[in-house]
Amino acid sequence: MVPRRVLVTGASGFVGRALVSRLCADPRYTVRAALRRELPELDVRVEPVLIGDLSASTDWRITVTGVDAVVHAAARVHIMRDSELDPLAAFRRTNVQGTLKLARDAQAAGVRRFIFVSSVKVNGEKTEPGRPFRADDAPAPLDPYGVSKHEAEQALRELAGTGSMQVVIIRPPLVYGPGVKANFADLMRMVAHGVIDNRRTLVALDNLIDLIVTCIDHPAAANETFLAGDGEDLSTTDLVRKLGAALGRPARLLPVPAACLDLGARLLGRRAIAHRLLGSLQVDISKARKLLGWTPPLDVDSALRKVAQHYLTAA
């Protein structure tokens, strides 16, 4: 069997690096990695392509030639303190216009499938008890990042209707795993001394990567939208306790009301961070389970142990 070539954008990012590593270990695939800058530690089995910034003028024609599938993980990511005068315009330049240019060049080159790593922010910012977000819910993005991802999804669906290239959309919530950066660490520090009664769905990096790889070839994934998650909802308090146990440092939580934590976050200019874990955001992954036969391979406790081991080794 001839391996299929997969182009991964955002290959130097948190998700992109893990995806490239997973694909390199699978004999079914060869990997072409789109990079903004050279990575000396890149796997020798990867074909690197320096592409620069993602915009409406980026020329992808050579990069997508001979590619079977594109996994588009590059984006202007959600920023807690955005310095742009017009954040929505900045997000649109990269996440909408840049994405659509890549997709058009891919379609013209005969790429079979285009997988877009979107965001659960397309669904909204919070859920009511017992009413998790579902993949086919009406979108309700609230911030510029979520709006840009929604607009990109719409543009990709329209493009898919004009040719043979299939589009798959995956919306992850907060992603965590070994090497996770500031947001997850900040969130943990923010709530480490409070008892929070909420429900959150997160997705371990390994689980998200497994879903992406499943969508590269699964026939039923064509032109569908999926939500990613661990399949286990936790309160923030439970998450902090589990992480403390994984680190060998049991969390000593105090009954501080969520309203007090929210007030403290506002005074510190961290209200946006607090909102991400003080409130509830549940995700229903049943569509991926039923349509793809997909099950998250890693449970939350195992995933947190991996995070803890990496943290303790790097400390």
Which residues are known to be catalytic?
Answer: 145
Q: According to DSSP H, which parts of 28-119 are helical?
A: 61-64, 87-91, 99-108
C-alpha closest to that of 195 among 237, 160, 234: 237
CA-nearest of 128, 62, 56 to 98 is 56
Q: Which helix (H) or strand (E) holds 186?
A: helix 182-191
Among the listed residues 139, 29, 14, the one whose alpha carbon sits nearest the alpha carbon of residue 75: 14
Contact assessment for residue 282 and residue 221, using Cβ atoms and an 8 Å cutoff: no
Report the distance separating Cα 98 and Cα 101, nearest Å: 5
Distance of CA 148 to the CA centre of its chain: 14
Q: Which tokens is 213 given? A: 């790889």
Give strand ranges (E) for the chain: 4-9, 29-35, 46-50, 69-72, 113-117, 166-171, 175-176, 203-204, 225-227
